[in-house]
Amino acid sequence: MKKIAFVLIALLLVSGYAFASGSAETAAASDPNTVKVGLLCIGDENDQGYTYNFIRGRDEATEMLKADGINVEWVTKFNIGEDATCTDANIEAAEEGCQIIINNSYGFEPFMLEVVDEYPEIEFISCTNCASAFDGRDNTHNAFANIYEGRYIAGVVAGLKLQQMIDEGTIAPEEAVIGYVGAYSFAEVISGFTAYFLGARSVCPSVTMKVSFVGSWSDATAESDAALALADQGCVMISQHSDNTTPATAAQSRGVFHTGYNNDMTGVAPEASLISTRIDWAIYFYEAIKAYVNGEEIPQDWCKGMADGAVVMTALNEAIAAPGTAEKVAEIEAGLADGSIQVFDTSTFTVGGEELTHAFALDTDGDFTADSEEAVYDGAFHESVFQSAPYFTVQIDGIEWLNAAY
Amino acid sequence: MSTENRTPLLRLAKRSEMDPRKVWCIRVASIAIALILGFIPILLTGNNPFAAYGVIVQGSLSRPIYIRQTVKIAVPLLGCALAIAPCFKMKFWNIGAEGQITMGAVAATYFALFWADKLPHFPLLAIMFISGAVAGGLWALIPAFFKAKWNTNETLFTLMMNYIAIGIVAWLQGGPWEGRKGSQLIPMFSDNARIPTVLGVHCGWVIALVLVVLMYIYMNRTKQGYEIAVIGDSVNTARYAGMNVGWIMMRTMFLSGAISGIVGFMIVSGANYTLYSGVANGVGFTSITVAWLSQLNSFAMIAISMMLAILEKGSNTLQTRMEIPASIADIITGILLFCMLSCEFFINYRLIFRHRERKEVNV
């Protein structure tokens, strides 16, 4: 019995020591120029896509804020699910002293909103979703960027390449088919590929597009399979709205071209990938955190575009892009900035053979169908004006949905 | 040499009954060894293991909210371990609790989504509770029926049923029950369809504790519990005694599935407030470990499920504070379970080494 008692006492001592040595609990920062920010991510930076883009934004914003004398202490949590683990992660970040908590994925928002009333002094941000801005709470916010502008330009780059191939006789005009790997038939995706298609058609009138939905935001194998299938169906240009780089490598393996999203993909597919577009989250993180430290309100619904640097293009792959692409891109960027080019110009597309004259932007009664705020006026559909999250869900002529199941 | 060939270096022999005190010493020692082995992965990440264990304990128990979060993790583990205990006692290998939880959650969610504005609070919750139990029970009854009728392999059957259940939810999520088009999210339940909290945690913990007592009585004090034990020891004995083995199997599986279904109801209505395909989140499998480690004893399950919950909640904080990847915590949990399960092996068997003198002669 003595032995047992000894062992028990020893265990108790060790566990007491462990308990004490773990007491590095950090209290909320007392220095007014230091702010603790939580960043909850759906993946990790190894995706080289979606989450990686947020981590890049985080690190850039940290540098920009440091130059202003503001220190940011980040608590970054990876691989959070779009489920109740997200609720728990928000509680955890709040309890660990974060003053601002950023949720990086669309599906996090409903789970985040379960927590926000418990912590009225903490600012919660849901990127890419749309309920926080309108929920009447002061401490919940949405943010997105006009990514459709970047997609439009990526489409122009693709269209110029296709037109070059037509002019050189590599393909017939009707063979200029784009294959698009989309995650779900979701507003953000529909808005993105429509902008991309309109960009391509603005410089290559004969282009058509096929869209394949993979039913996941991030499934490297499914994205690759979809890209290969599209190439086998005659698509000579692949683009994507999904998180991985596998569509780029799939395009290269089939000898077709590609434009990407979230990250420069010329590294993994130098012979296929022309250009990518991405959101530069550093712009938002900088503004939001700076506002918080200065005691100002973080905007309820933040949305900026290319003119403010919130949407950027990655370096053009000059080796394979059509001649004159860089000049054309610069011209379009200027046109988007001064408003002379509208991405969803209703004179450039038809729906069921007719011009689009009416579409609502917002859902106010919670039935998930838009019912207020006319988005079509002044000859264009105005995307991301009434809320930051995209709301263009119209199926336009020229784009074929291969599978609408997702 | 010939004797040498016949006697292996290591032999196993079944132990006779051990002193219970000694048995518990072995168990405590196995946990201690596991914790010491757990130093290795933490050291590999370049952190102080004592600090890491400290963070695990603090992150799960140091504040009321952390304790509540830990209990929230423990409740479904406990409930589900209770559910599978009678099956395992019967040596009916039900590894389909995951699917039974999911189907219970589906049934409860149906009423939460479409009847929340038509029924008052408590009748709605009662219907969700009952429908969850019935759905889980029926889902479990299918493999039991096939086993009783055609002696199909219940392990494979129950396992496969899990994927069907999860597939059904994935379909509902992207199809008929989807909220915003393309979002793959079922809307959150209204307050009417959420179970009330007791001491800050949803009242599922009270239900689980009541079930602990009921299950203990059922297994140890009732005729049905006795029948289950007899079948577990010998199906032929049970038949000889005139028991209808097929019927008892189906009855027990229905009961087991019903409890899992109730767990599913508690998860959607008390913790997640919505349904998604990962609703069971591995609970159906982890609870097998809980049931085994506690030797199918209902009261021991409380301790084991709390222990696993502490590890899970604590490892979350470990990731937050020390930036140790969550997978390291999974490795520690794995080491712990491995040590605890293997210690049961050493409690039941002993190792006999080849006789030392003979070895020396041969050298």
- Tell me, yes or no, if the pTM score tops 0.90: no
Tokens 């059509």 appear where? Answer: A322
| DSSP code of residue B95 | -
pLDDT at B11: 80
pLDDT > 90 in chain A, percent: 66
Query: Are A140 and A158 found together in one domain?
Result: no
Query: Are A194 and A205 found together in one domain?
Result: yes
B360 pLDDT above the threshold of 60: no
Weakest-pLDDT range from A238-242, A366-370, B19-23: A366-370
User: CA nearest A325: which of A146, A153, A171?
Assistant: A153
Asked if the structure places residue A160 within a domain, the reply is: yes
Tell me the CA distances in angstroms from B245 to A36, B139, B251, B257, one per residue in order.
Answer: 62, 20, 10, 18
Rounded to an integer, what distance in angstroms lies between the CA atom of residue A310 and that of residue A308? 6
pLDDT band at B323 (very low <50, low <70, confident <90, very high): confident
pLDDT at A21: 52
Rounded to an integer, what distance in angstroms lies between the CA atom of residue A175 and that of residue A162? 9
The two beta strands, A360-362 and A100-103, are unpaired
* CB A247 within 8 Å of CB A188: no
User: CA nearest B318: which of A24, A110, A332?
Assistant: A24
Chain A neighbors of B63, CB-CB under 8 A: 95
**Phi/psi-derived region of residue B188, left when phi > 0, alpha when psi is between -120 and 50, beta in every other case:** beta
* CB A37 within 8 Å of CB A289: yes
Query: Are A71 and A156 found together in one domain?
Result: no
A220 lies in which domain range? 147-279+314-401
- The predicted-structure confidence for A9-20, as pLDDT tens digits, reads as follows 665 555 555 555
Asked if the structure places residue A1 within a domain, the reply is: no
Query: Are A84 and A120 found together in one domain?
Result: yes
Query: Are A209 and A336 found together in one domain?
Result: yes
pLDDT at B321: 86
pLDDT band at A40 (very low <50, low <70, confident <90, very high): very high
Query: Are A81 and A142 found together in one domain?
Result: yes
| DSSP code of residue A298 | P
Residues 281-340 in A contacting B (C-alpha not used; CB under 8 Å): none
- CATH number of the structural domain spanning residue A64: 3.40.50.2300
Asked if the structure places residue A6 within a domain, the reply is: no
Of residues A35 and A216, which shows the higher confidence score? A35
Weakest-pLDDT range from A34-43, A149-158, B58-67, B312-321: B312-321
Q: Which residues pair with A209 in a beta bridge?
A: A178, A399
Number of domain units in chain A: 2
Amino acid at A117: D
Q: What is the mean pLDDT of residues A312-340?
A: 92
Query: Are A360 and A333 found together in one domain?
Result: yes
pLDDT > 70 in chain B, percent: 96
* CB B186 within 8 Å of CB B276: yes
B142 pLDDT above the threshold of 70: yes
B337 pLDDT above the threshold of 70: yes
Query: Are A135 and A266 found together in one domain?
Result: no
pLDDT at B361: 46
Nearest to B183 among A83, A186, A215 (CB): A186
A294 pLDDT above the threshold of 70: yes
Query: Are A217 and A324 found together in one domain?
Result: yes
* CA nearest to A37 within chain B: B320
Rounded to an integer, what distance in angstroms lies between the CA atom of residue B305 and that of residue B290? 6
Flag if B316 and A88 touch (Cβ within 8 Å).
yes
Asked if the structure places residue A38 within a domain, the reply is: yes
Query: Are A215 and A239 found together in one domain?
Result: yes
Asked if the structure places residue A52 within a domain, the reply is: yes
Rounded to an integer, what distance in angstroms lies between the CA atom of residue A1 and that of residue A250? 68
Query: Are A49 and A119 found together in one domain?
Result: yes
Interface confidence, given as ipTM, is 0.84
Q: Give the SS3 label for residue B196.
A: coil
- The predicted-structure confidence for B145-166, as pLDDT tens digits, reads as follows 999 999 999 999 999 999 999 9
Rounded to an integer, what distance in angstroms lies between the CA atom of residue B256 and that of residue B97? 8
Q: What angle do CA B218, B105, B113 make, to 5 degrees?
A: 135
Residues 86-125 in A contacting B (C-alpha not used; CB under 8 Å): 87-89, 91-93, 95-96, 106-107, 110, 113-114
Query: Are A235 and A372 found together in one domain?
Result: yes
* CA nearest to A369 within chain B: B180
- The predicted-structure confidence for A214-257, as pLDDT tens digits, reads as follows 988 888 899 999 999 999 999 999 999 988 889 999 999 999 99
Q: What is the mean pLDDT of residues A65-85?
A: 92
What average pLDDT does the structure give for chain A? 89
Rounded to an integer, what distance in angstroms lies between the CA atom of residue B349 and that of residue B343? 10
- The predicted-structure confidence for B116-133, as pLDDT tens digits, reads as follows 888 999 999 999 999 999
Could you state, in order of their start, the residue ranges of all structural domains in chain B?
A: 74-306
Label residue A381 exposed, middle or buried (CB < 10 Å: 0-12, 13-18, 19+): buried
Q: Which residues of B173-195 are buried (b: 16+ CB within 10 A; e: fewer)?
A: bbeebbbbebbbbbbbbeeebbb
* CA nearest to A216 within chain B: B184
